[in-house]
Structure 1
Amino acid sequence: MSTPQHSSGPAGPRLDEAVLAALFSQSPIGLHIMDTGLRLVRVNAAARLIRDFPLDRMLGRPLRDVLDAFGVENAQDIESRARIVLETGRPLLDLRFRVRSPRVPAVERMVCAHCFRIQDTDGTVLGLANAITDITTRTRAEGRLKLLNRAGTSIGTSLDVFRTAAELCEVAVPELADSVAVDVLDSVLHGQAPTPGTVPGNLTLRRAGFRSCAD
């Protein structure tokens, strides 16, 4: 990792060392260091704290092996983009992908990666640094908000019961369930609004809508 050219006096080197130490011991962001062969050579404390993803076991392994070990679907594309960063020096920002732990039952996480090249003061390329942030909670919250917005604009576009049931199924699958069925009282299909309160037994239901991931 290169150091600032303008550092002067004893504070410069001490500050550089302190920043480097903090990145590997105190930073809340996971840091993965790759050599010029895209082999994982070092990870910081934050990366090690993710117990479902034991990166220490992957030290010395190529990036592709690391990605494959954690079930990344677009591993080849990520490896190719990392090589471009290594060759050109242009950083790769806000790369989002899903990782899956090898243990059973598996744990899935959505992560955001920022990749940039590391080089010495003389310009010699030393490898890559990958700053990894777990954005699983944020992604789930964004997904729920998008689903609510979609439901608000897509369900109830007409007074037709079958159309409304179909719209409900379209929104719910696959975001909320693999299969959804909407059953309504037979009387509703004849234009009779159900009375408030507990529905008595032995009433006829009609299937108004159905959708499945298998369709």
Structure 2
Amino acid sequence: MTTTTTAEPFLELEHLGAASPAAVLDRLISHLREEKKWHAVFDALLMRKRHELGLPLVRPTALRDVPEAQRDEFEKYYVSAAREVAERLLDEGAIAQAWNYFRAIGEPERLADAIESLPAAGPIDEQVVEIALFQGVAPVKGLQMFLQSHGTCSTITALDQQFAQMAPATRAACARVMVRRLYDDLRGNVEHDVKRRQAMTPPGAS
């Protein structure tokens, strides 16, 4: 069986570089995708675009040094590259990392869908809770997750801090979640107290 050493892709890049910088970048992007190094893929994609536009490759994600005549084309490519990397990170369940890219391009909806699809009984990632509830990406789901991991009292405090920033429909939905939780807590406490009292009542006593 043939094995590939860590150095081989870079030896190949060195060989390609003698003939074509564009080919080097294409091979680099392909290699990084194979390795699933998505943050590096983003940088490499923008390096390739900068090379195509004749711009310096230093600080590939920067926009300041892009001439006005080329800015629209570069920004569109930036959005496309960020979206690709964000989707790949979502595929791996790296929601918090994907958010860095979706936030940069102003597309929270896709991340909200991913958060909403998380199982109710699954493990709680506090970074995801922060994004969902406190950054407002999926506030109702974030509230449910916070409630599950922190309990009723802490959730009431957290919700009070966020309530004014929410849209009316979101406030109403969050209020329904809390009312239901308070009802369940109260009912559980009453049932527990009734069972405790019944256990203490002597047989035949009224």
By percentage of residues, which structure has more helix? 2
TM-score computed with the length of structure 2 as normaliser: 0.25
Larger relative contact order (CA 8 Å, sep ≥ 6): 1
TM-score computed with the length of structure 1 as normaliser: 0.24
